[in-house]
Amino acid sequence: MKSHYETSAALLLLKCIILMAVDAVNPGCDCLVFSATYGKEYGVFSSQDYPKPYPSHVDCLLYTFVAHKDEIVEITFKDFDIYKSHLDCLKGDYLKVFLHLEKGEVNELSPWSRVLCGSLQDIPPVLYSSGPALILELHSQSNLNNATGFVGSFRFIDKRSFQTDGQRLAGTDCDYQLISNNLTRSRGRFFSPRYPSNYPQHIKCTYKLRARSRERVRVLFEEVMLEKGDVSCLNRADVIKVYDGRNNLAPTIAMLCNEVTEQEVLSTGSDMYIEFISNSDLPGQGFKALFQFQPVATLTTTSDRLHSIETEKSTLATGPVTHIKKMPDTGSPATTTPMTPTTDADLDIELSEPEMTTQRPKKVVVCPRVTNCDMVIYSDNSKNGTISSPGYPEPYPAHSYCRLDFQGRGKERVQIIFRDFDLFNPNDDAKECIDALLVYVQIDGRLERVDNHCGQTLPRPIMSNGPGLMLEFKGVYSSRNSRGYLAEYSFIENYGIHSGEQIANLPCAFTFNGTMQRSGVLYSPNFPGYYPRDTECHYFFQGINDDTIHIKFHHFDVEGVPPCEAISASDYVEFSNFMARDRRYERYCGQKEAFEIKSDRKFFRITFRSNDRLDGTGFNASYRFVRKMEQSVSSQPVAKANHSGVVHNSVFLILLLLLVVVEL
């Protein structure tokens, strides 16, 4: 009895042969055509004889998927096993993929998108066409293996689900402007070219987002799938750059590369400019993003902000690739109980003697002496200030619950520095905190707890991984000896790094110039606190003439396991004598004793990169610009003196004796 796959293949092969006789569809190949799912959500396809080994000596067998003109094809591999005899798939058995077709026809001149072989782990599990047709071309050699081929599903998707909600600029292929006015929506979507299929090679696309004067631009990159790898964005051929202004001369607030999900970016003004650059030989799927023109500081409560992303996605849900992720329930009564809006008097109390600074005066944010208080603190209103538990410095009342939601813009990060900390903890056990201060950041579109503080130990400084951060205070018990906490908050753009000169055209980069300062210190973001997740910072050293750079690390704690690669989900520090990666230096991660690194040239680069997993306290180091002449002098043997001050140098004495003999 024939299997379902064998019966379907036989019928479709007969249909394809008839089409070939009439329409001359690539007469050099056998062909299977899939053009309908017969009322089901998915159709099924497989290699011949699956799950038995596929036939040998297949010169050309086409699996042709044909949709309507306003549709694209999605195929998903459930199993894949094409014998891989060589690193170059074309030298063995392979499956050639054609993604960019307007008709279900190919010939020897048709450009393919990629070639697949190996196992399911070696290929993208899902493929999309950019037009109404997609073709897989199977070739096999002698049957010296037991490779079983492939099986998968296919469906047809409305292409209009992936149209950018903006105006394409005349004379361009992929430059768009998205402008806020009375005739446009305040929110929408934009995509990389051909999304969800692979974007073209060697392209540059721009997206100009312009809000009105009392609005700001918010962009959420839901999914970014570019050239794969864990290499720094500084050296990636495919990259997305986000500028906080009208063009690429404005400060860079984000660089996205590799694979990213749910990355939020907020402008400080009414303009945002985005560049998408593709120069790799193997393009990825690209990106899909949401944009919104937001009135300044319109969200008034924490719950409003936490559900804003979910609401926008629900409103804009226009296709099968839209994934809606709900924010986690923190388990507190306030997540289900409506919160009372706080007044300006509750939130902001001006200091009687503001600090002498060029920034706005600090503000004191004190939770009212009530059991529940929730506040949103915007950098638009105050760049820094003081926060505390309810009633501080008096003991906080029992059953206190407060959420402080900080929202910055641009490249701003939220930094919290504690000045006093005293929470009731009868067990003196940090693993079983009763009264606690919890810290949350956004990771992959959801709030994730990254810290849990209790007892009387003063917490290390805290820093967000993006423009937002949330503190959750739970004061279950009250004790006359528990003062609560007092801390200072700041919205900063320098990642807490105060050495070197910050560079505007990268999100986090600092230059150290040997003509300005010959020695100094450097450290990781937020040191001595835990460094933020999903962060990449660069330190560039530029010497003069024959300088080299000597860097001594005094403290080093970077989460990871050697060789500090993506396979071990490691954060890392990378060293290079060039802008590109320098194979002379291995990556550094883990906890290390003091060590020293020396450059070969007058230019040197250090790159720090963290992922979204765990974190450490980072590093601090000292640096020196050293001239080669100084190095050679310091490397000379040091003459030793006896107690009478006479220098003993055997080589010098021998030469002197020889000279006396010659003169005699």
Mind giving me the DSSP string for 555-580? EEEE---TT--GGGT--EEEEESSSS
pLDDT at 365: 59
Are the CB atoms for 33 and 15 separated by under 8 Å?
yes
Task: Fill in the amino acid letter for 32.
Answer: L
Task: Fill in the amino acid letter for 370.
Answer: V
Q: CB atoms < 10 A from the CB of 154, how many?
A: 19
Q: How far is CA 218 from CA 68, 269, 380, in A?
A: 35, 11, 14
Q: How far is CA 610 from CA 59, 129, 132, 261, 635, in A?
A: 48, 34, 41, 15, 37
- Secondary structure (3-state) at 559: coil
Give residue for tokens 């694209």: 72
- Cα pseudo-dihedral 240, 246, 249, 252, rounded to 10: -40
- Secondary structure (3-state) at 259: strand
Task: Fill in the amino acid letter for 79.
Answer: D
CA distance 581 to 605: 9
DSSP 432-472: G-SSEEEEEEEETTEEEEEEEE-TTPPPPPEE-SSSEEEEE
Query: Is 0.85 surpassed by the pTM of this model?
Result: no
Are the CB atoms for 116 and 79 separated by under 8 Å?
no
pLDDT at 479: 80
pLDDT at 601: 94
**Rg of the chain taking only CA atoms, in angstroms:** 31
Strands 203-210 and 176-179: parallel
Residues sharing a CB contact under 8 Å with residue 331, sequence separation 6 or more, in sequence order = none
Strands 30-34 and 61-66: parallel
CA distance 201 to 173: 13
Q: CB atoms < 10 A from the CB of 610, how many?
A: 26
CA distance 530 to 451: 10
Phi (first) and psi of residue 615, to 5 degrees: -150, 175
pLDDT at 657: 41
Q: Does an H or E element contain 22, and which? A: helix 4-23
DSSP 474-489: EE-S--TT--EEEEEE
Nearest to 256 by CA among 169, 192, 174: 192
Burial classification of residue 481, based on how many CB atoms lie within 10 Å of its CB (0-12 exposed, 13-18 middle, 19 or more buried): exposed
CA distance 429 to 453: 11
Task: Fill in the amino acid letter for 217.
Answer: V
Tokens representing 366 are 């004190």
Question: Exposure string (b/e) for 617-648, b if CB count within 10 Å is 16 or more?
Answer: bbbbbebbbbbeeeeeeeeeeeeeeeeeeeee
DSSP 296: T
pLDDT tens figures, 398-418: 888 999 999 999 999 999 999
CA distance 212 to 179: 8
- Secondary structure (3-state) at 85: coil
CA distance 193 to 163: 10
CA distance 177 to 536: 29
3-state SS, 310-336, equals: HHHHHHHCCCCCCCCCCCCCCCCHHHC
Report residues of the chain scoring pLDDT below 70: 1-28, 143, 297-372, 428-432, 631-664
pLDDT at 235: 87
Nearest to 532 by CA among 553, 555, 510, 507: 507
Give residue for tokens 């950018």: 164
Are the CB atoms for 190 and 165 separated by under 8 Å?
yes
Chain length of the chain: 664
**Strand partners for 30:** 61
Tokens representing 608 are 């720090």
CA distance 96 to 137: 5
pLDDT at 85: 86
pLDDT at 648: 41
Tokens representing 594 are 């003091």
Give 168's Cβ-side CA count (13 Å radius). 12
Burial classification of residue 211, based on how many CB atoms lie within 10 Å of its CB (0-12 exposed, 13-18 middle, 19 or more buried): buried
